[in-house]
Amino acid sequence: ALERYASIRETACVTACGSRIHLNMNAGLMADLPSLESSGAEGVGLFRTELQFLVRNQMPKRTELAALYARVLDAAHGKRVNFRTLDIGSDKVLPYMKPNDEPNPALGWRAIRVGLDRPGVMRMQLQALLRAAQGRPLTVMFPFIAQLDEFYAARAEMDKTIARERRLGHPVPEKIEIGAMLETPSLAYAPRRFFEEVDFLSIGGNDLKQFFYAADRENERVRRRYDTLNCCFLTFVEEIVTRCAQTDTPLSFCGEDAGRPIEALCLAAIGLRTLSMRPASIGPVKHLMMRVDLADLKAVIDAARDEGAQSARPAVIEYLRGLD
């Protein structure tokens, strides 16, 4: 199987019906970057920046972060890297920050909420990213945006940081794209102007699913209970695809489900065109994707929905068996 995947590494992922699907990889360490080449990923759809903060016993310095981000961009050789700003709280607790005893940390003070309430850390990180880019294009996304003002406030921090860098005489990127992660159901219903103004959206399926089903992603008792291919969830994700299409907003999906071949196929069938996953998943996802006609698969999903099935999975599996 590994050889089979190696043989399609340089092949663009095009489905049997001719749809071009972009396959990116998730990363979080410098050590992940060689996988960009070996997996055939088109870019880094999600660079999680928490690890550099989690592995130390004190806050990393701006110069250290800038050096690391610059090495990441160097190693990407011009491929796009979506840097996600610090996403701490909930399951990711910084050793040097006073833990705050929250009864529901997943619903608590986390990610962009911390970033906006303690803007010093976010400003430092944005400055490190701008310095690392050295004038090269830069892509940044903010985690866990639940309502409009959080995105606007985060973007204003970026604007202020850019202005400051200019004043200091540092080169700023020729092109900056600012996106948001869609991880709370609320953001799917943001006003149209949000979809028009955001440069791109990335569905954080791990969190989105957790909040859609009110089922803790860390809790073994409940986390497997609700299927990603449950018709309710597929309908919801399809609604996000439709809203993005209305405003030409680039959309990707970067939760773990993007790396599960059957889930990836169904996401593509309901309209996703960019998926970001673990590097090891790119081969298997691409291999299966290239054999499937998305219109046929979409018809299978629609029929399951029309029949009132709880999940599209049995019908999808039956359809895939028929391909052999």
How many residues bind to ligand PEP according to rule CB under 6 A?
Answer: 10
Residues pairing with 230 in the sheet: 311
Count the neighbouring beta carbons within 10 Å of the beta carbon of residue 146. Answer: 19
For tokens 């999906």, name the residue. Answer: 253
Stretch binding Mg ion (CB under 5 A), from 189-197, 199-207, 209-217, 272-280? 199-207
Least distance in angstroms from the C-beta of 58 to Mg ion? 25
43 makes contact with Mg ion (CB under 5 A) = no
Asked if residue 204 binds ligand PEP (CB under 6 A), the reply is yes
Which of ligand PEP, Mg ion, none lies near 157, with the C-beta cut-off 5 to 8 A by kind? none
Site for ligand PEP contains 263 (CB under 6 A) = no
CB of 321 to Mg ion, least distance (A): 33
46 binds, among ligand PEP, Mg ion, none (CB under 5 to 8 A by kind): ligand PEP
Q: How far is the CB of 32 from ligand PEP (least distance, A)?
A: 14
Which of 207, 238, 257, 263 touches Mg ion (CB under 5 A)? 207
Stretch that binds Mg ion, among 12-20, 66-74, 186-194, 205-213 (CB under 5 A): 205-213
Per CB under 6 A, the list member of 33, 36, 46, 66 interacting with ligand PEP is: 46
Cα gap 206→303, rounded to integer Å: 26
Restricting to residues 242-261, which ones interact with ligand PEP according to CB under 6 A? 254-255
Q: Which is nearer to ligand PEP, 15 or 228 (CB)?
A: 228
**Structure tokens, 54:** 């989690």
Residue 293 identity (one-letter amino acid):
D
Q: Minimum CB separation from Mg ion for residue 22, in Å?
A: 20
Interface mask toward Mg ion for 126-165; x: CB under 5 A: ----------------------------------------
Of the candidate residues 176, 206, 280, 320, the single one contacting ligand PEP (CB under 6 A): 206
- Choose the binding region for ligand PEP from 10-18, 199-207, 300-308, 316-324 (rule: CB under 6 A): 199-207
Contact partner, 150, from ligand PEP, Mg ion, none, Cβ < 5-8 Å per class: none
- CA–CA gap between residue 37 and residue 27 (Å, rounded): 13
CB nearer to Mg ion: give 143 or 173. 143
Dist. CA 144–CA 186, nearest whole Å: 11
Residues lying near ligand PEP in the complex (CB under 6 A): 46, 48, 87, 183, 204-207, 254-255
Residues lying near Mg ion in the complex (CB under 5 A): 183, 204, 207
